[in-house]
Each structure stands twice: as C-alpha cells, then as structure tokens.
Amino acid sequence: MRRYLPGLLLVSPALAIIVFLFLVPLAGAVTGAFQDADGGFSFGNFIKTYQLYSNDILFTIVIVALSALLTAALSVAIAGYLTLGTSPAAVAILRWLYRWPLFIPFIVVGQILRTFLAKNGLMNNIFVATGLITPLHTVGFLDWRGIVIAFVWKQTPFVTLLLAGAMASIDRGTVEAARNLGASRLRILLEIVLPQAAPTLMVALTLSIVTMMSVLSVPLMIASQSPTVITVDMAFRINAYGDYGVANALGLISLVLTGAVAWIYLRQTMRENAR
Amino acid sequence: MPATSGHAARPEASGPTGEPFLEVDRASVQYGSTKVLSELSLGVMRGEFVALLGSSGCGKTTLLRTIAGFMMPTSGSIRVGGRDVTRQPPDRRGMALVFQSYALWPHMTVARNIGYGLKLRGKPRQEIAARVAEMQALLGLEGLGERKPAELSGGQRQRVALGRALAISPDILLLDEPLSNLDARIRLTVRHEISALQKRLGITAIHVTHDREEAMVMADRIVILNAGRIAQIGTPQEVYNRPSSSFVAAFMGAENVVPLLVEAGGERLRIAAGPVNRAAAIPAEGRRLGGRVVEARFRSEAAELHSATAFPKEKATEDALVLDGVVMQASYPGGVWRHVVKIGEATIVVDSSHAFASGEAVSVKVPAEALFLFDATDCKEGEEELR
C-alpha cells in the first residue's frame, strides 16, 4: 500500500475535481430525474416529458442528424479539395476562408443569421434587390432551417479542420497510385482518401453532435417557437417553472442520445481494431 | 561534373539497336527555380530492363516521375512507341508505377488492391476476379486475397504492389526503389524474382535505385545520373569496366584516387615517377587524355599488396602502376584482408589474401587494365603538387 501512496496522492486532485464537479452533479441530475415533488422515486417526470416534449425530442434528433449529415458532406468536399485540389491559389484561399466560423461564438452566429435569414432580412433584401424574387414572395428561414444552417455553418469548419489534417497525413503515394491507374479525382476522394480518413470523420462528427445537442443560444435566437430543441425546453422548465425534475429528465434523454452516438462510434472502432 | 575524357563515352554503342520504345527527348524539369533535370535524353527499347542509378538528389526519381506523368517537363518531350505523351495524364501512358512505400490502399483487401485498376476500366466482375487470381498465382499470393495490407509481410506487400501494377497489363513498368524497404536478405531474392518476372512477361521496365549492386544484377542497361544529367549509359560490364568519367568510376566502386603525371606517347602512356609512384608505362588503349596531370582511380580488390622490397626502385614498371606506402590498419571483412594504406598525404584501401602488419612499408601494384585515368579537374594544383 505504501508503494502506491505517492501515485495516489498525485492523482487525487484530478480525481477530486472529477468526483465533485462532474460525477456528483451528474448523479444529482440523474436521481433528480427520477424524483417526484416530495422526493420519492417516480417516473412522473418522464411521463410529463413524453406528454409535453416528445415532438421536441424527435425534432432535436432530426435537426441534429440532418445538420451532422450536411456538415459531413460539406467537410468532405472542402477537405477533399484542400487535399486534392490542383489550383494552388484556390486551395490557399479556401484554406484561409474556411476556418473563420471557428472563432465566432454560437450566440453571435445566432445573431448574424437572425438578421440575415429573417423574412425582411439581408438575404431576402439581396434577392429582392437583384430581382430574383418579389417582396411578396419572401420567406423567412427563422425556423428549423435556420437552426440547421447555423449548426452547419458553425460546425463545418471544425469537422473540416480535423478531416483535412487526417487527409493530409495519409500516404500521398496511395493517391498517386490511384491516379496512375486512372481514377478520377472524385473517385480518389471517395474510394481512396475518405476511407482512410473515415475514423477521424467519425470522431469529429461525434464531437460535433454532442456540441449541437448542447447549444441553447442558436435555437433561442433563431427559432424558439414550437417545435424547438431540447435545450430550449430545459431552460424554459427551469426559468419559467423552477421545474428541475422535468429539466433533469430532458437532460438525461439528451445524454442517452449522445451516449448512443458515442457507443455506435466506439463499437465501430473496436470492430476495426479487432480486424 | 568534372571535365574528363578518359574513356570515350559510348552511350548508344552497346544498347539494342532499332527505334526506342520509350523516348525521353531533351527533357528539363524544375522544382520552382531549382533545375532538377537539364535537357536529358534517354531511349529505352521494348522489353529492356533499364536501371536509373545515382545518389540521392541526382534526379533519378524525378526522371521516373516525369516519365510516369506526375511531373511536367518545362521543355522537351516524352514519347511511347512514337506517340507523344508529354501532356497526357499518368493513366493514358500505358505505364504502371510501383512506389517505394508500395502505397497499397490499407482499407482494401489484397484482391481489391490488385483489381482496382481493372474496376476503374469498367471490366466485368468475373474478368477482374480471373485476372486477380492470375496475378496472385504469378506472384505467389494465393490464399491471401482477403487479407488487408497490414496483415502482410514486407515482401508480400511488395508483391501486391507489383501485382496491382501488372494487373492492368501495362506496356512499361516503372519501379521506384521498390526494394529499399525490404530486409537485406529478402531483397536479394526479390531482385531475382523481379528480373525473372520481367523477362518472362517481356515487359519494358525502368528501375530507380541507389544500390549499385542491385542495378548491376537486375538491369540490361544502367543509366548513371549525376546532378540531373546522364553521366554514362551502358551495360553493367561497360559502366563497371570502362567508366567514362571520374564520377562514374568512383560511383562504381573505384574509390582509390591518386594524382599522376603522364607523358602521352603513341601506343603507350608513360607515367613519370612521382612522390608516391614509380615510373611506369601502360598501353594507351584509346585513352584520350588532354592534360599532363591525371587522376588515377582503381578498386581496392583490383590492386595487389606486396612488401616494399618486391619491386626494384629504379626500374620503370610495365603494364602496371606501383605505389609506395605504409599500412595504417588491417581488418578482415571476410574472404580477404582489407588494408588502409597511407600513400603520401592520401589514404587508399587495398585488399590482399594475406595480412600485412600495421606500420609495414608496402608496394601497391595496380594492373593497367584496372587503372582508370581521367584528366584531373584541378590541373594547376595537381601539377604543383607533383613537382
């Protein structure tokens, strides 16, 4: 025992922080989800959550899934061009441009897109000014579309950053070998480069999904009417009703959803490592 | 490159005759402002195995990549079978490249790696499977079709890379140092496997290597490159026995170098006695030397070591050069004793069947046929030194 003591002492501050700042509050939230107003065990919060918010939960899943898919598609396109692009100038410009949204906070993204996507916002003003549509036909995007646009706009640079790094580090010879045999650039991207960078894409998307599940500001700024995402409902339960029980239940559902994504990812990597 | 004219370079004299199948015509290549190849011309016959030999940075890989179509020459052209392919993409040249790193696709099985080129050509699935099986049989990869590259040994990976290149039946096989990542022992057998395969398929092959012995063993002709130019082209015997320049001689193992003072006189070259060498007369044999000061090169195994008293001092030696020196060090690398001999200020390496003690005064005898003479590059200095 004495032998392990210095090691345990060294670990203890980090362990204490994890226990008191993470595990204890998490346990509190989880148990809180299963407690009724009197503190007894109950599924009441979940029943209420299901009755009030099942549509919002579905809405959240659809929005996050759609955003993740669009982010993946855009990231593959951008990272692919950064890796395989033949015009050095275009590659340099793209490399410089794509990272900008990384440095803009979600709340600012919400703000920018709110003024841009509104019915009388900048986007429609431009369309009207250029004669593409008449003022009568303008449509605001401040609903699910706005949230998806904001998520994709904010998360694409992050996923692209990781993906472009992974693509840059693959053996360049594997690309040239495919070119030597006559593969087009699109085939090289999809059949040679992307499969080798796929684990990184999966990690980036998993992290991205967790981020999107936890963003409150963007849906609040862009579309807080019904249906909306889980985070808005949680904030509403606490701020309007002081109802921590249902908020905890919603939080637990969020955690289960992100946990499922992480589990799918982990199972995939373990299967690949086993091979 | 040193200005030499020792042996007349006869690049085309020994090669197969007729129209070359692959022609590099005055190709220049540069990276940014650095000129890597300058006006390089090379002809390769159909079915020939040519080795591009040179030290790192000499432009051999650049030449291969230019032929393959991964680099564009700034001037000059590349022709295959009379067709200009200079502006053609890599896959329209009828060539397949085997990479130094093999560059196998790690996410594909062996069978899919080999069959990918055919899949790109839109061949039906049965045809691809048949060709893949054929390649596996040819290269001894039976039963490994479902493995991923990570589950193969180095030699097996190398053969998969070869199979992938050969599956599309290319006219020309390009090999970029394909053996350099293999264990020394495997490398020796793979050398013979590749050249046997090349002969069997009758395919034209260009092999880049920095390994002299590898080039000698595998190639029909060797192209020695130096600083983006061809230093010499010839059969292995020619470049080994009749190096056209001091660089080629040194690259082919004639590392011992001694400055000599020569008086040309008809059939025989008279070598004047110098601080380290006895007077000698050797057959001229077409050696054309411009200046009086020459650089003599020879291999350690081509010289003989004798005790200092073996040759009378005053008499000029015939058909051989005799140098006087002192043994500095003797070692036994196997087969022969290797001696480091101090000759004046320089040291040379000489092999001998029996050992001489360190500190012993010796005479080194170099037979005329093993002596390569070139005009010295730094004439003035050399002449001062010899007088």
Which residues of chain B make contact with A196, given a CB cutoff of 8 A?
105-107
* % chain A with pLDDT above 70: 99
Full domain range(s) for residue B278 = 254-386
Secondary structure (3-state) at B158: helix
- pLDDT by residue (tens digit) across B143-163? 999 999 999 998 899 999 999
Q: Which residue intervals of chain A are DSSP H helices?
A: 5-18, 24-33, 44-84, 88-97, 106-117, 122-129, 144-168, 172-180, 185-187, 194-214, 217-222, 230-236, 244-274
- Residue B9 in this model has a pLDDT that exceeds 60: no
CA-CA distance, B99 to A252, in Å (whole number)?
53
Q: Summarize the confidence of residues B128-145 as an average pLDDT.
A: 92
Q: On the CB side of A18, how many CA atoms lie within 13 Å of its CA? A: 5
Q: Tell me whether residue A59 is in a domain.
A: yes
Q: Find the residue in B nearest to A184 (Cα).
A: B120
Residue B6 placed within a domain:
no
Residues B96 and B148 in one domain: yes
Of B247, B271, B289, the residue at which a domain comes to its end is B247
In CATH, what number is assigned to the domain containing residue B268?
A: 2.40.50.140
In this complex, the residue of A171, A176, A183 whose CB is nearest that of residue B120 is A183
A176 touches B: beta carbon within 8 Å: yes
Amino acid sitting at position A142: L
Minimum distance, in Å, between the CA of residue A172 and any CA atom of chain B: 8
Has residue A44 been placed in a domain?
no
B192 vs A39: which has the higher pLDDT = B192
Q: Is residue A14 domain-resident?
A: no
How many residues does this entry show for chain A?
275
Same domain for B210 and B297, yes or no, is no
Which of A132-136, A163-167, B45-49 shows the lowest per-residue confidence on average (mean pLDDT)?
A132-136
Domain at A135, CATH number = 1.10.3720.10
Average pLDDT over residues B62-76: 92
B332 pLDDT band, cuts 50/70/90, is very high
- Which of B185, B217, B247 marks a domain boundary? B247
* Number of structural domains in chain B: 2
Q: Please list every residue in chain A whose beta carbon sits closer than 8 Å to the beta carbon of residue B70.
A: 176, 179-180
- Shortest CB distance from B120 goes to which of A173, A176, A181? A181
B240 and B260 both lie in a single domain: no
Residue range A25-63, pLDDT digits in tens: 999 888 888 988 787 888 888 999 999 999 999 999 999
Residues B227 and B260 in one domain: no
Identify the residue with better confidence: B266 or A227.
A227
Higher pLDDT, B180 or B291: B180
Q: If you search the block for the tokens 């999809």, which residue do you land on? A: A190
Whether the pLDDT of residue A70 is over 70: the answer is: yes
In a shared domain, residues B266 and B196: no
The answer to whether the Cβ–Cβ distance between B89 and A181 falls below 8 Å is no
Mean pLDDT calculated for residue range B240-267: 87
Whether the CB of A178 is below 8 Å from some CB of chain B: the reply is yes
The answer to whether B105 contacts A192, with C-beta atoms less than 8 Å apart, is: yes
Searching chain A, which residue's CA lies closest to the CA of residue B90?
A180
In the predicted model, what is the mean pLDDT of chain A? 90
Same domain membership, residue B308 and residue B373: yes
Determine, yes or no, domain membership for B13.
no
Asked whether residue A183 is assigned to any structural domain, the reply reads yes
The share of chain B scoring above pLDDT 90, in percent, equals 51
Judge whether B1 lies within some domain: no
Q: Is residue B11 part of a domain?
A: no
Q: Which domain holds residue A125?
A: 53-274
- Residue B171 vs residues A243, B97, B206: alpha-carbon distances, Å: 77, 11, 11
Angle, to 10 degrees, between the axis of helix A244-274 and the axis of helix A44-84? 40
Which tens digits make up the pLDDT trace of A145-161?
A: 999 999 999 999 999 99
| DSSP category for residue B299 | -
- Is B151 part of any domain? yes
Whether A186 contacts chain B with CB within 8 A = no
Which residues on A lie below 8 Å from B116 (Cβ)?
178, 181, 183
Number of structural domains chain A divides into: 1
Q: Are residues B88 and B185 in the same domain?
A: yes
pLDDT tens per residue, range B276-293: 888 888 887 767 676 678
Q: Measured at the alpha carbon of residue B169, what is the angle toward residues B26 and B119, in degrees to the nearest 5?
A: 115
Q: Are residues B139 and B287 in the same domain?
A: no
A24 domain-assigned: no
CB atoms within 10 A of CB B171: 15
Residues of B in contact with A183 (CB under 8 A): 91, 116, 120
Per the document, the length of chain B is 387
Q: Residue B277 has what pLDDT?
A: 86
Mean pLDDT for B285-305 is 83
Is the pLDDT at B16 greater than 70? The verdict is no
Query: For residue A171, what pLDDT band results from cuts at 50, 70 and 90?
Result: very high
B86 lies in the same domain as B231: yes
In a domain, residue A168? The reply is yes
Q: Express each pLDDT in B21-35 by its tens digit.
A: 999 999 999 888 888
Residue-level pLDDT at B276: 84
Amino acid at A79: A
Cα atoms found within 13 Å of the Cα of residue B279, Cβ hemisphere only: 10
Q: State the Cα–Cα distance between residues A13 and B386, nearest whole angstrom.
A: 79
Decide if A29 is inside a domain.
no
Q: Does A130 touch chain B (CB under 8 A)?
A: no
Whether the CB-CB separation of A250 and A237 falls below 8 Å is answered with yes
CB B286 within 8 A of CB B266: no
Whether B382 shows a pLDDT value over 50: the answer reads: no
Contact B99 A176 (CB under 8 A): yes
The residue written with tokens 């006189």 in the block is: B265
B102: left (phi over 0), alpha (psi -120 to 50) or beta: left
Point out the domain boundary residue: B212, B247, B282: B247
- Does residue B3 lie within any of the structural domains? no
Tell me, yes or no, whether B39 and B105 share the same domain. Answer: yes
Closest CA to B96 of B204, B221, B209, B20: B204
CA atoms of B131 and A274, how far apart (whole Å): 30
- Beta-carbon separation of A173 and B68 below 8 A: no
By Cβ distance, the residue of B97, B105, B120 closest to A174 is B105
- CB contact under 8 Å between B97 and A177, yes or no, is yes
Answer yes or no: do B348 and B372 share one domain: yes
A195 interfacial to chain B (CB closer than 8 Å): yes
* ipTM (interface pTM): 0.79
For residue B243, the tally of other CB atoms under 10 A from its CB is: 27
Is A132 within a domain? Answer: yes
- In a shared domain, residues B155 and B195: yes
Contact B91 A275 (CB under 8 A): no
Residue B380 lies in a domain: yes
For residues A193 and B9, which has the higher predicted lDDT (pLDDT)? A193
The Cβ of residue B29 has, within 10 Å, a number of other Cβ atoms equal to 22
> Residue B5: pLDDT above 80?
no
Q: Report yes or no on B153 lying in a domain.
A: yes
Q: Does residue B381 carry a pLDDT above 70? A: no
- CATH number for the domain that contains residue B149: 3.40.50.300
Interface test with B, best of A84, A176, A180, A188 (most B CBs within 10 A): A180
Please determine, for residue B53, whether its predicted confidence score (pLDDT) is greater than 90: yes
Q: What's the pLDDT at A1?
A: 64
More confident residue, B204 or B291: B204
What is the separation of C-alpha B156 from the centre of its chain, rounded to a whole number of angstroms?
A: 26
